[in-house]
Structure formats: structure tokens, C-alpha cells
Amino acid sequence: MDLEKYDYILSVGTFFEDENLKNSLEKACKNEANFIFMHPIDKYILKELYKQFIKYEVGSEEAILALILYFFAKKDNSIKEYLENLDIGYLSAESSAGEDEFEDIFSIYEKASKKALILGDDLLNHKNIENILTLVKSIEKYTDFSIFFSSKELENSYKSSLEKNLEEPEDLESFNGTILYFSKNCSLNEKILASQTFLNIAKVKSGDMVSYKIENISYKKEIILDENLFGTIAITNKESNLYSFCKVALEKE
């Protein structure tokens, strides 16, 4: 993936764990590209790279892409009715991504000459993946974004997806409580990285062994404080083909 020639880069649903992707992003930012990072977790090592971080709620990727289409699409009668029927206020409130934030990043987009949208593996296994891919096709058609994917699996899903009518995003599923984010980072080695807030809510301490269940499969791991993390989402290694985030109840061993 060659991002160096782009002066505006927006990412959704990627945690930049692939070194080639991260290196390409770093080179683009050294060339003064404006990078907008959208994700439920603010990644510490990206702070020096991004111009703006927009945090959205877990599970709201479909709403986020609909908002991108709404704010960035060129005027076109074939999509006008769909955009007019979107409840932008609701989507913005439920996803926690403010309308003013989209207006800010669009003003930067307007001044850029080459724009890239990077879509990550958080989109895989989302319950509304079909409409998500349809939204991406519309973004590619009606905006100036070049579309990039963080993995071949997601890219192949996109290329093989059938043309369908756009649907309004579904009501967002609640992800209150303690949530795990499944990372591809093998160096985690069966550990959970968590913020102090997460530890407090889960009523455990750094260094404790904890257990939890996902789809009736039990896991036991050591939970470690990561002072660069905040909020109620902890990170562990990927262990299933589920959506990238999962609500869990931890039990101290």
C-alpha cells in the first residue's frame, strides 16, 4: 500500500498493526499528509502522526460510513434521496462522532489534492457487513476517496460483494460494560492490556489472572495495566472469527 502520494488520509476500523501499512502512513505524514484517525481506541503511537482523532462507539462502523457518505459525497441525484432520508443527528449522537467533527475534517479534505480512505479489519464479521460494503461502494463512487483495505480478506469481500440498494444503518447495539478488542499482535502472548478505568470496573488488579467466556469457550489470561490506554476497552490477542470487539464479564482466578 503506497500512501506517500496522498495528502489526506482518513482511516476507519483499522488499528494499524500491519508494519507495512504503518510505515507507509508514517512516510505520508512526513510528507505533511493530514491523517484523520477514527477508531474506538486512541492508539498512543499514532498521536504524533494524526491531525485529528475521532472516537466512535464500538459497533457503529456502519453509521460512521453513512456519515462519511453524507458529508463527503458530491451532489448527485441518484443518491440525493438516500442522503436526505438519513437521520444525521441520530447517527452522530449514537456513534458519538459529532457533526462538527465531520465538518472540520471535510474542510481539510476540500483543500487536499489526493485523498485516501483506509478501511480495516474491524469491519469484518460486523453483523451489518453487507450494507457496510454497499456504503463503501457508494463512497468510492460519489467521493474523491481512493479506497484501501488493511487486509486481502476485507478487500476480497469487497470485490466479491454484490451490488445492492443502500439501506439506512440499523439501530446501534449497546456495548456497555467491559469490552475486549481482539488484536492481531501475537506479542500479547495470552495477556490482556487494560486501562486503570477498566481494572477498576472489572474489580481486578494488574498482574491478576482472570477468566472469561466467549461462545461457551473459556479463556484464562493475565491482565496488565497499560498506562497509555483509557476507557473501558482492553486489548488481547485475536482468538476467534468474531467481530473485533466483544463485551465480557471477567472473573478473578
User: How far is the C-alpha of 143 from the C-alpha of 106, rounded, in Å?
Assistant: 11
Q: Cβ contacts of residue 54 below 8 Å, gap of 6+?
A: 36, 37, 38, 97, 101, 105
In order of start, what are the domains of the chain with their CATH numbers? 8-160 (3.40.228.10), 179-252 (2.40.40.20)
Identify the pLDDT of residue 186. 64
Strand partners, 67: none
Model confidence at 10: pLDDT above 90: yes
Model confidence at 201: pLDDT above 90: yes
Model confidence at 195: pLDDT above 70: yes
Please give the single-letter amino acid code of residue 2: D
User: How far is the C-alpha of 253 from the C-alpha of 251, rounded, in Å?
Assistant: 6
pLDDT band at 230 (very low <50, low <70, confident <90, very high): very high
Backbone angles phi, psi at 147, to 5 degrees: -95, 130
Residues 105-114, mean pLDDT to the nearest whole number: 98
Model confidence at 73: pLDDT above 90: yes
Q: Which three cell numbers stand for residue 186?
A: 501475537
For the chain, what is the mean pLDDT? Answer: 94
The verdict on pTM exceeding 0.85 is: yes
